[in-house]
Amino acid sequence: MTIEKLTSNFELLGDWEERYGYLIDLGKKLPGLPDADKVEENRVHGCQAMVWLRMSRDTQNPALIRIRADSDAFIVRGLISVLMILFDGKTADEITAADVKSVFSRLGLDQHLSPTRKNGLFAMTERIRTLARGLAIEQNVANN
């Protein structure tokens, strides 16, 4: 799914209860992580719910970054799905350059999430960007 398709789907839904339901449905479809990956090293701090996130280079195209994440809360799993639509399969430069606040605003997430959920969403975003920069540095060192 693209962010344009997600935005279109959000616009088709009436009120925010329906949109929250849609986010929860997205979260239920998220593949998640095996228990072995749900360790402190992969935990995203700054989220009220438990969130674990792993990133790696794509095996077919090492310039692209793959994201896997999970949470113990359905709505947060839905927010992870939004972030994966934005970032999964992108380069480190694309991840760091993405105008996330604009996307969250278009979806209405900036206005309809509780302050703690908003903080968690931004904590996940920053963790993804930090890990992407680290993978980019590793790749640059390996290429030189």
Choice among 23, 47, 95, 131 that is catalytic: 47
Q: Which residues contact 63 (CB under 8 A, 6 or more apart)?
A: 57, 91, 139
Active-site residue flag, 15? no
Residues labelled catalytic = 47
